[in-house]
Amino acid sequence: MQELPRLSAQLGRRIFVKRDDLTGLAFGGNKVRQAEFLVGEALARGADTIVGGGGFAQSNHARVLAGAARAAGLEAIILLRPGQGAAAVDLRGNALVTRLLASEVRVEEALRSAPDGDRRAEVAYRREIFDSVGAELRRQGRTPYIVYGSSTGLGVMGYLAAAAEIHRQARRLAVAFSRIFVTSLGATHAGLELGAQLLAETHEVVGVAYQPAERSNAEATVAQLAADAAGLLGLPAPVGRQPRTDIAEAGRAYSAQTPRSRRALRVAADTEGLLLDPTYTAKGFASMLRWIEEGAIAEGECVLFVHTGGLPGLFARSSRDLRLQGDDPGH
């Protein structure tokens, strides 16, 4: 956890970052904390192969899951959703790293029409497709463990543990956050939310949508995931806290940048040398900046931005894509 001193001075609010872009394994990010539990269960069940993925070629989840499987001595079969454009075809960014780490990468035509923006529906949609790959492996005498996604009760555990870590670090730094911003429509937000409830925190967790989503549906999904995780722990579902999702930074589509997300990427780089990824964290950071600039966060308040990583995604973009020329109105 680090303070951003120049940006804090500029904006008159103390801004901290939880550097989960530095979680370590295979270029890090939020998915490492989730994979710890998913691969942990695979090991506990005696699996020899992880089957997972489900997103597009630039999926951070696929990259980290493949790395986590390998780090645990398991094979990794990654199933990808067919995409469009150069990022889907070229092996760049996450796609390159996933190809390097996985035993096998398959683009599954059946994933093409998966639902968008509803994390639990995505997981439900994948079930049959992933199970048929699992059955194929079993016929070959292998023992697969299937990861349908991180948007499950087990997937929430990574950020429940992170909430406890944030609690300890905030105490050590003697700061009390009024709000925590995190780019998430699912398990990442749910873990921080459940943690806040269990630790009786006073801060609000703002989940920031990175693709179009209906606000009430996103908030219900996060609440349900928190309840699923509580159930796994034998605890009652959280009550009294309502998850909050900011949908104003979503843009027109997944991975589509917006003028504010481009600006956030520049601001973090220019003021602090902090790198954001264009697909997720730039939108989360843009949300935090907007809340501050609109006065929703009072002068002197402390806020935390949870940097969920995704940085290999930068290398799937061009400078034109990021409008780095300097003569562009989006700059």
Ligand X SMILES: Cc1ncc(COP(=O)(O)O)c(C=O)c1O
Contact positions vs ligand X (CB under 6 A): 29-31, 60-61, 119, 150-151, 183-189, 277, 280-281, 308-310
Specify burial of residue 112 (Cβ count, 10 A radius: 0-12, 13-18, 19+). exposed
Residue 228: which of 185, 167, 187 has the closest Cα? 187
The residue type found at 170 is A
Residue 225: CB minimum distance to ligand X, A? 9
Of 14 and 317, CB closest to ligand X = 317
Residue 36: CB minimum distance to ligand X, A? 15
Number of H helices, E strands in the chain: 11, 10
Of 16 and 280, CB closest to ligand X = 280
The residue whose two tokens read 């956890």 is 1
What is residue 53's three-state secondary structure?
Answer: strand
Of 14 and 285, CB closest to ligand X = 285
CA 330 to chain centre: 25
Residue 48: CB minimum distance to ligand X, A? 26
Of 49 and 188, CB closest to ligand X = 188
Residue nearest to ligand X (CB): 310
Query: Can you give the length of the chain in residues?
Result: 331
Residue 204: CB minimum distance to ligand X, A? 17
Q: Sign of dihedral through CA atoms 311, 315, 320, 324?
A: positive
Quote the radius of gyration of the chain (alpha carbons, Å). Answer: 19
DSSP code at position 236: P
Of 261 and 308, CB closest to ligand X = 308
Residue 320: CB minimum distance to ligand X, A? 22
Using CA atoms, how far apart are residues 297 and 286, in angstroms rounded to an integer? Answer: 14
Residue 190: CB minimum distance to ligand X, A? 7
Of 14 and 210, CB closest to ligand X = 210
Using CA atoms, how far apart are residues 132 and 109, in angstroms rounded to an integer? Answer: 13
The angle at the Cα of 195, spanning 280 to 272, to the nearest 5 degrees, equals 40
Residue 75: CB minimum distance to ligand X, A? 23
